[in-house]
A and B are shown apart, each in its own frame.
Chain A
Amino acid sequence: MSIPADLKYTPSHEWVRVEADGTLTVGITHHAQDLLGDMVFIENPAAGRELKKGEECAVVESVKAASDVYAPVAGEVVAANGDVESSPEAINKDAYSAWMFKLKPANAADVAELMDAAAYQKLVESEAH
């Protein structure tokens, strides 16, 4: 599956979409869900929680394994996706539409430090070879 060009990425396999109002939508990549397999449990951070960059803030669990999800940048959680919590398999079906939570970044410029699609593609390839 191709890596969407309009998203930003972290080395720990989260994707980030910058919305028109400046909030960030966060999920895990197709590559991450492919490694984990069938998703069965998602735990999102509560709205209002302040996150530091890199803070463990969510958990995705497949039949196989549990995995932490990290805050891509510092910010405040403004929404969590209840749909994905009740249907974790949505992440397997389409990792880039099954978002997990939304962040209001502490500093909008931090987003620039995330990887673009080309850099993330390289990372995935380097890990696969």
Chain B
Amino acid sequence: MERIRASLLFLVTVMSNQAASTPAALKQTPLNATHRGLSAKMVDFGGWDMPVNYGSQIEEHHAVRRGCGLFDVSHMLPLDIKGSHVRAFLKRLVANNVDKLQVSGKALYSCMLNEAGGVIDDLIIYFMDESWFRLVVNAGTAEKDLAWMEKMNADWGMGLTLTPRRDLAMIAIQGPNATQTLNQALPGVDSITANLKPFNAAAMGEMFIARTGYTGEDGFEVMVLAKSAPFFWQALMEAGGQPIGLGARDTLRLEAGMNLYGQDMDETTSPLESGLAWTVDLKTERDFVGRAALEKSEITQQLVGLVLLDKGVLRGHQKVLTKNGDGEITSGSFSPTMEKSIALARVPLGIAPGQEVEVEIRDKKLRAKVVKYPFVRNGKVLIEI
């Protein structure tokens, strides 16, 4: 089982890093000891020592769809941008239009593009006030993002202050019981959670509560000071929240039809061919990095959902055979909610929901149906096969 052995080596590397003998240090979140105390299986996730699961990944997945799950997402980087021209900076920096953010606490999902129109990262922008916006960027791209933003800040003479907030931990509380769990864990927070609409956030001192997530369920992403994180996590568990690893995080976001940076899009792909056209504002005249390239580009591909009709499991990089030419799976896995294999795939234009395609898996060609994603939202399967 060569591929097992590969993953074995992968795990072994991680375990050895805990021993004093191997100094190649993985980065740890403030909840690292908490995960180890819960007997989590830890893996190297882009240089971070993170829990992939605490037991059964499928049970963790169901816990989020049916109850409440807790995720340590402290590897992601909150980044505060402060100064007198933050809005003007972000209007040039990102593809979505921050002018959609007019109410304090409102959040916006956007791509940050390079000059060629490729995706440097996808991120969330929170508008706090005209001199303070908070961004949350991916862990694996954080350093690259920060360098890019600092360069633009200097090139455009913006004079802004960019502050990475590694002093904060971030915990996602997700599922139909998320509000109840958070309210119980944090007495007094109900006055905020009761009024917080999806994609909005509220700050209370250093605590930051956002009604956002990556699961397709109701829930929150809460930032607290790193030193408070273990205590907060414990309170959330006592309130009924179940720890969820990165394994279930991936199947949850895939069912929810949410892109994963590095798999579904990267610096070589256009957001317009990655299912992200809805996040690219070409309606206004606003000039942003990558716009000119996008407007010149010819769109030939699209991101679609696939459901495997035959038995097997769809995985990233498998070839998709369509009547209009070949495509490729960008993210694939087993959907615990649907009990079928599902995928996101980049295929030629003209391939539409309802059509059948073939996927090459090892030496076989298996049948898959093209569907419009998301596959699952708020615990309900949205796809009929």
Chain A positions within 8 Å of B, measured between CB atoms, are 12-14, 28, 32, 35-38, 40-41, 43, 59-61, 63-70, 92, 127-129
Contacts and interface: CB of A to CB of B under 8 A. Distances in A.
A14 B19 contact: no
- Report which residue of B7, B11, B251 has the largest number of chain A beta carbons within 10 angstroms of its beta carbon: B7
Given A41-B313, A41-B334, A64 B247 contact: yes
Interface string B27-58: 00000000000000100000000001100111
Given A41-B334, A129-B16, A67 B4 contact: yes
Contacts of A38: 56-58
B379 interface: no
Contacts of A35: 4, 7-8, 11
Contacts of A28: 1
8 contacts: A14-B1, A37-B53, A37-B56, A41-B341, A67-B2, A67-B3, A67-B4, A68-B3
Interface in B312-368: 312-313, 315, 333-334, 336, 341, 362
Contact of A63 (B16, B58, B312): B58
A39 B2 CA distance: 17
Nearest to B4: A67
B4 A13 contact: yes
Nearest to B9: A127
A100 B224 CA distance: 49
Contacts of A92: 56
Contacts of A129: 12, 15-16, 19
Given A35-B7, A63-B251, A69 B57 contact: no
A58 to B, nearest CB: 9
Given A41-B341, A66-B3, 5 more contacts: A37-B56, A41-B313, A64-B52, A64-B57, A68-B3
A59 B1 CA distance: 9
Given A35-B8, A59-B362, A64-B52, A12 B2 contact: yes
B313 A61 contact: yes
A59 B12 CA distance: 23
B311 interface: yes
